[in-house]
Structure 1
Amino acid sequence: MTFNTVQEARNWASSFLEQHDREPRVGELLLRYLLGVSQSQWLAMGRDVLDQDVANTFATWIHDHAVTGKPVEHFTNEVDFFDDTFYVDERVLIPRPETEELVLAVLNEVNGGEVIVDVGTGSGIIALSLKGRLKDATVIGTDLSEDALAVARSNGERLQRDVLWTSGDFLKPVLDEGATPDIIVSNPPYIPHAERDSLSETVSLHDPAEALFAEMNGLAAYDTIVKQVMQLDVRPKLIAFEIGYDQGESVPALIQSYDSAADVRVIQDINGKDRIVLWN
C-alpha cells in the first residue's frame, strides 16, 4: 500500500475500516502512535509526506485490525490509566475506563497507611494506581496467572512503584500467609459464558478468557472471594468490587447470603450503570 501523505493514509484507513464494520477512529490512533505525535501536531500535518516504512506498517496494522479485531492496545502495547501509561499484551485484560472509577471509589474510602490487596491483579493497573497515590500504603497484587504477574511486575518496574506480587487463587496467598488486609479490591471475571457470542471480537477473541468469563452466571469469582474473606481472622474495613452492569442486585445478595449484617453499597458509573459494590 502506497500513501504519499498523512491525509491519504487517514482517508484510506477510515474507508477501509468502515467497509469492515470497524471504528474509523482506530486509523487515527494507530497512525498517531506510529508517528509519535501529539493531538495538536496531528491536526497540523495532513499534507506532510508519510515515510514509506511507516505507511507499510500502518497498512498492515489496519488490515489486521479490520480482519481479526485485534485491539489497538495489542499493536501499541500501551494503555493510559489515570495519569500513567501501562504496558499490556495478550496475557492480560485491557483495562476499561470504568475501572478508574473503582480505584477512585477506594481512594475516597482510605485514610493512608492501609494494607491493600488487589485480587486478580492482571496487568497491575489497580494495585499500581493505588500505590502511586498512597505512598505509605502496603499494596499486594495476587493472580493465578504467572503470565499476568510478569506483566504486572514489568509495569511496577517501569513506574518504580513497590508492590508485592504473589501467585495464587484470589485471596489464597493472603490466607496462607495469615495476613490481615485493611482493604480488598478486585475486578474479577464476571461475564457469564452464555454472553460470549454477544461480545465484540476485539474483546472475546483477544482478552484472556480467564479474565472475562465466570461460572454461576458470572458470579463464581465473587462467590470464591467472599468465602475467602469470611475465613480471614480480621474482617477488612472495605471490600470493593467492580461488577457487571446487571449485577447490582445479585452481587450484594451473594455477599449478604454469607454476611447478613453486611453494609453493601452499589455505585453507578459515569454512564449511570451499576458498576461498583462497596462492602463494609
Structure 2
Amino acid sequence: MTKPNTPVTLESWLNNSGLPRLEARMLLQHVLVISHSHIIAHGTQLLSNSELASLNQLCQRRLAGEPLAYLLGWREFYGRCFQVSEAVLIPRPETEHLVDAVLAHLPAQGTLWDLGTGSGAIAVTIACERPDAQIWAADISEEALAVAQANASVLQAQVRFGQGSWYQAQPQPAPHSVDVIVSNPPYIDAQDPHLQQGDLRFEPQQALTDNHNGLSAFKTIIAGAKDFLRPDGWLLFEHGYDQGEAVRNMLSQYKFRKIQTLADLAGLDRVTLGQIKSEAP
C-alpha cells in the first residue's frame, strides 16, 4: 500500500496493494464506483488522497481476513446481487443447490416458508423465480431481517417477513397451509475448529452454530413441521457434508417419506429433503 500524498495511479495501486488482483480490482471499483473497463482504459488516472485512504483502509481489513463481501456490502447469489452485512451469513454457492431443490418441489401457486432467512437469499430468490408463489420468511434477528427486507425491496420480491425463533416467528402462515418449508439452519458443531478460521470468524455465530452438536435446529424444525405443512408437503435443509445420515434419520423418526440427500458439485452431501405423510386414508 502507498502512503497518502504520494501520487498513485489506478494501475500502480492494483499492483502494490498486496491483495490478489481480482480482489484489489473489486475494491477499486467499489470505492471509485467505476467499471472494470474504466480501469483498463484509464490505468494512469490518479487517485485522490481520500480515495487512496479509503482503499488502504479496506485493503488492511481484507489483509486481516475480513470477508470481501462485507467490505463490498454485497455478494452475488443465483445471478443476483444481495446486500450483506455482519448481521447475516454470506450467501454461498452451495446454497444454490438448496434453491434448485425447492424450485423442483414447490407447486404452482404454492406456499413456501424460509426459516432462518438471514440475508433473504433463499426466500427472495424463490420469490423472483416464482412470482406465482406465496413466500414467507422468518429470522430471530432484527438486524438480519432488515437486510433481508432491503434485498426484497431492491429486487422487487414479494416476501412476507416475520421475526422470532423458528415456528414462533410472527407474523406466520396459517397452520397446514405451507407446501414447502426450507431452512439453512446453524449446523456447525460448537467444537468445530473451522469456526475460528477464515470468513467464519467474522460471520454471526448464532447463524453458524447451535452451540451444541450442530443438529439441534434440525430436530426442532422437523418436529414442528407437521403443524404447518399441508398433507404431502416437503421439508428441505442445507447441512454439513457429514450430516446427511443424521438428518435422514431424524426425518424418518418423524414419519417423513421419500427422504433423500442431494450432493453439491464437489460430490458432498449438502441438501436433505423429505415429504410429510399424508393424512388422507
Please state which band the TM-score falls in when normalised by the shorter chain.
0.7 to 0.9
Structure 1 residue 91, shift from structure 2 partner = 1.1
Output the aligned Cα RMSD.
2.2
User: Unpaired segments of 5 or more residues in structure 2?
Assistant: 276-281
Q: What amino acid sits opposite 1:104 in the alignment?
A: D
Matches within 5 A, 1:23-38: 25-38=22-35
Give the match for residue 100 of structure 1.
Answer: 96
Q: Does 1:256 align with 2:252?
A: yes
Pick from 4, 7, 14: which aligns with 2:11? 7
Q: Report the CA distance between 1:242 and its aligned residue.
A: 0.6
Residue identity opposite 2:66 in structure 1: K
Residue of structure 2 in register with 1:189 after alignment: 186
Alpha-carbon distance in structure 2 between the residues aligned to 1:117 and 1:213? 21
The structure that is helix-richer by fraction is 1
Name 1:278's counterpart in structure 2: 273
Instruction: State the 1:138 CA deviation.
Output: 0.4
CA distance in 2, matches of 1:222, 1:95: 20
Instruction: Report how far residue 92 of structure 1 moved.
Output: 1.0
1:90 to 86, 89, 96: 86
TM-score of the superposed pair, with normalisation by structure 1: 0.88
Residue identity matched to 2:260: R
1:268 corresponds to: 263
Structure 2 counterparts to residues 163-242 of structure 1, below 5 A: 163-173=159-169, 177-197=174-194, 199-204=196-201, 206-232=202-228, 234-235=230-231, 237-242=233-238
- Rounded to whole Å, the distance in 1 between the matches of 2:7 and 2:238 is 44
Distance 1:3 1:214, change over 3 A: farther
* Aligned ranges 1:57-206 → 2 under 5 Å: 57-67=54-64, 69-173=65-169, 177-197=174-194, 199-204=196-201, 206=202
* 3-state secondary structure, aligned to 1:185: strand
AA at the equivalent of 2:76 = D
Using the alignment, how far apart are the partners of 2:36 and 2:12 within structure 1? Answer: 18
Q: How many Å apart are 1:109 and its aligned residue?
A: 2.4
**Please, what TM-score do these two structures have when normalized by structure 2?**
0.87
Q: Separation in 1 of the partners of 2:164 and 2:105?
A: 26
Displacement of 1:238 in angstroms is 1.5
Count of equivalent residues: 270
Cα contact 2:136–2:173 (8 A) shared by 1: no
CA contact (8 A) 1:181 1:236 kept: no
Change in CA separation of 1:39 and 1:273 when aligned onto 2, cut-off 3 Å: farther
* Distance change (3 Å), C-alpha of 1:42 and 1:269: farther
Alignment CA distance shift 1:216-1:193 (3 Å): closer
More deviation, 173-182/1-10: 173-182
Q: Displacement of 1:65 after TM fit?
A: 2.0
Residues 198, 92 of structure 1: alpha-carbon distance in 2 compared, 3 angstrom cutoff: closer
Distance change in 2, residues 1:175/1:33 (3 Å): closer
Could you tell me whether the CA contact under 8 Å between 1:229 and 1:235 is conserved in 2?
no
Shift of the alpha carbon at 1:115? 0.5
Aligned-pair identity (%)? 33
